[in-house]
Amino acid sequence: MTTSSSSSSRSRRSVYGVPTKCWCGKGLIIWASETKENPFRRFYRCEIALQRKSESHLFKWEDEAILDEIKMVDAKISDIVHDFQSLSKSVIEQLDSHKNWMMSLESDLMSKLNEHFEKQNQAVDEANRQPIVPGHNFAAAVAIVGTIAWMYWKFL
Ligand SMILES: [Zn+2]
């Protein structure tokens, strides 16, 4: 009696992995096949299916169900590995872009600091040079005398 082979192809289309319930709602039991083609091969089937053989109930070989489960776990693992790889790639890219940004910020800051110090040095140089020029002192003296004269006329 080949209960299995005919329903096997049908169940393979509708159920993937280890089945938990039959289409009729009954729980599944693991039976051992007694056919010549599949001696002692274990399969899932509900009790009603064995009583009413004309009805269509779920059938699934146990080894195929377990193989499905292993494939699903494998697919999940490869999904996780893929997710992890793309995540670590994006983290590395972000870190790289942050590093580039920091480096450009640093070089900007350094060039601004250099500019600032150069200006300061120039100002110091000019300030050091100026007192040597006699005209400068004279002009300052004239300004001070002028201010004093103005205050003298204003308040007296
Ligand atoms: Zn059933």
**114 — phi, psi (to 5°)?**
-60, -45
Ligand 1 mean position, distance from CA 11 (Å): 12
What is the pTM assigned to this prediction? 0.50
Provide the Cα torsion 81, 84, 89, 93; round to 10°: 180
* DSSP output for 111-151: HHHHHHHHHHHHHHHHHHHGGGSHHHHHHHHHHHHHHHHHH
pLDDT confidence of residue 155: 72
pLDDT confidence of residue 69: 93
Ligand 1 mean position, distance from CA 50 (Å): 9
Hey, where are the domains in the chain?
3-68
Ligand 1 mean position, distance from CA 28 (Å): 8
Residue 132's pLDDT band (cuts 50, 70, 90): low
Ligand 1 mean position, distance from CA 36 (Å): 24
Query: What does the pLDDT look like over 77-106, one tens digit per residue?
Result: 999 999 999 999 999 999 999 999 999 999
Residue 18's pLDDT band (cuts 50, 70, 90): very high
